[in-house]
Amino acid sequence: MFWQLTLREISVILAGEQERQMRERNERMSLAWHIAKLDRVRKMPALKDMLTVKKTRVKQTPEEIEAVTRSWLSSRATRKRKTA
């Protein structure tokens, strides 16, 4: 597989890997900082206050999905007519 890739594709893959490693390092550094900071706190905050709540997504009905798709496609068709 490696020999089938172009130099541009290889450079994009390497850049993405480097960004992933930097992001992971920053996450670990942030975690270490928070642990050290919490160690100096006299009264530990409640866990529920520290956790972030994941927002639940409302599922769309098939009709809503169709309406969004139609509006997206119509806006694309309008843009094509303007550029032609």
Is 10 within a domain? yes
Grouping H, G, I as helix, E, B as strand and the rest as coil, residue 59 is: coil
Mean pLDDT of all residues belonging to the chain: 86
Residue 75: per-residue pLDDT: 80
Residue 77: per-residue pLDDT: 67
Over range 44-54, report the average pLDDT. 80
> How many structural domains does the chain have?
1
Residue 24: per-residue pLDDT: 95
Is 23 within a domain? yes
Is 34 within a domain? yes
Segments forming the whole domain that contains residue 73: 2-44+60-83
Is 72 within a domain? yes
Is 71 within a domain? yes
